[in-house]
Amino acid sequence: MTFNDLAAVIKKNKLKVDLTLLRLAYDFACEAHKGQIRANKQKAIEHPLRTAQILAEVSMDESTIVAGLLHDVPEDTHKTLKDIKDDFGSEVAMLVEGITKLGKLKYRGIDRYLENLRKMFVAMARDIRTIIIKFADRLDNLETLSALPQKKQIRIAQETLEIYGPIAQRLGIGVLRTALEDGAFKYAHRKEYDKFTKQISSRQDKLLQIVSKVQVQLKKELNNNNIKVIDCHGRAKGLYSLYQKLLKHNNDINQIYDLVALRVIVPTIADCYAALGVIHSKFKPLKERIKDYIAQPKPNHYRSLHTTVFCDLGDIIEIQIRDSKMHEEAEYGIASHWHYKEAKSCKPEEYLNWVKELAKWHKSKDDRDDYLQSLKIEVFQNRIFVFTPQGDIIDLPESSTPVDFAYHIHTDIGNQIVGAKINNNIVSLDEKLKSGDMVEIIIDKNRKGPNYDWLKFVKTRSARSKIRQYAKPHLWQRLKLKPWQR
């Protein structure tokens, strides 16, 4: 790869990047890495150049792309952060420093990785672009992983699947999440990867041919109904994501309907719903497989209409309908904000509140278990969205309870909860909520505080901490709580 390749991507995506400045950064990095060779026998400059290219492909801003070129300089060369700051400014230096501070601690499972994770969330809270650079850095490293010893391959791949993939998903960056997970899958689970790819390859090929035929039919139908089609294309779902689904369905591949999906991009939200009507008039929809993520976005802000339909020959395919902005957000998540705004004015709080909360953790022996459990729940576990009676969407970890919901609304609501309704049915307070549930909390204003037994089943850190404010130390032994529940 050359600098001209990077410049070509920037011009293609019409990015506001000063190519003269970028060339200076490239020359600076070339000089710093001069004579260095990576394990795959390539010159060291190849890696930061490709990292910068990945950042340009997701349309990041100038400072981020420059920082991508320079991210290995302080740790691997004689040049310092001060040198970078003097030549390229404090913003670029801050981003490079954020990457450098993440360190190179060997991954030995999340339980032994807390300090590195704490640094990561502190860096992310300071500037979210730090983790996006790290994703690009890791994605290129996965491309050259075959040059490393097998033990190191497995360690890096597991770290990617267990740490970086879930964070990318939480930030809604679908295109990077899929690339990271699929790049790591074959190294972390080689036997499963080989078996699974053989299992689905012929099936996916057949479905792609079917999708191609449906694509022609659908574009014609939409045009006949005066619905403009900006884009219409088939896409195979990420391998690792499909593998995870297969495990949930007891390895029955016939239960997975989105091996391949047809994606339809139209101009407006109204066109999305109109297109859904046209599709259902042409193809019979599968019951309970129509999902409106426009009216009810996913916790990571993904929006789209999904429907699963029977094709002419009885085959089943999924169709996703969205407008252009939804498509950008589905592919790039928080990174899509740099497509529409100046980076300095872009601080999308809806993506970052959980990051800032995790960054507040202070190192101490007492709260180590609590922080680890919070990480597993808040970041590395699936999320659900439920509704208040007024229709407000509440984002919670999977398996949350009405008590978690109540404390999310307000501390007083949590302290005074005495009952709950889910979808108008009375339930116990330890009932597990599911996405789409409408939750109503019943309170007693005369109640003075929570029941300490709730600590046995609440999932969120917020609920635990607020319940513990009332608890007495001698209760821990009586309740037989695990350390992270206390």
Going from the C-alpha of 417 to that of each of 222, 392, 431, 439, the distances in angstroms are 50, 19, 14, 12
**What is the identity of the amino acid at 416?**
Q
The alpha carbon dihedral of 53, 55, 57, 59 has a sign of negative
**What is the identity of the amino acid at 332?**
Y
Closest CA to 132 of 187, 70, 77, 52: 52
- Is 444 an annotated catalytic residue? no
Q: How many helices (H) and strands (E) does the chain have?
A: 23, 11
Whole-number Å distance between alpha carbons of 195 and 193: 6
Tokens, residue 459: 């999932």
Closest CA to 331 of 171, 451, 125, 210: 171
Going from the C-alpha of 472 to that of each of 211, 446, 467, 477, the distances in angstroms are 62, 21, 11, 11
Closest CA to 283 of 318, 237, 255: 318
Whole-number Å distance between alpha carbons of 384 and 424: 19
- Is 318 an annotated catalytic residue? no
Going from the C-alpha of 379 to that of each of 67, 142, 171, 372, the distances in angstroms are 26, 22, 10, 10
**What is the identity of the amino acid at 1?**
M
Whole-number Å distance between alpha carbons of 176 and 164: 10
- How is residue 106 annotated by DSSP? P
- How is residue 158 annotated by DSSP? H
Of residues 18, 31, 75, 312, which has the active-site annotation? 75
Going from the C-alpha of 280 to that of each of 186, 218, 222, 270, 429, the distances in angstroms are 38, 11, 12, 16, 40
Whole-number Å distance between alpha carbons of 298 and 115: 30
Whole-number Å distance between alpha carbons of 60 and 57: 8
Specify the DSSP element, H or E, that contains 420. Answer: strand 417-422
Of residues 46, 57, 76, 430, which has the active-site annotation? 76
The 10 Å Cβ neighbour count of residue 236 is 17
- How far does CA 45 lie from the centroid of its chain? 29
Is-contact 441 418, C-beta < 8 A? no
Whole-number Å distance between alpha carbons of 124 and 133: 11
Q: Catalytic site residues?
A: 75-76
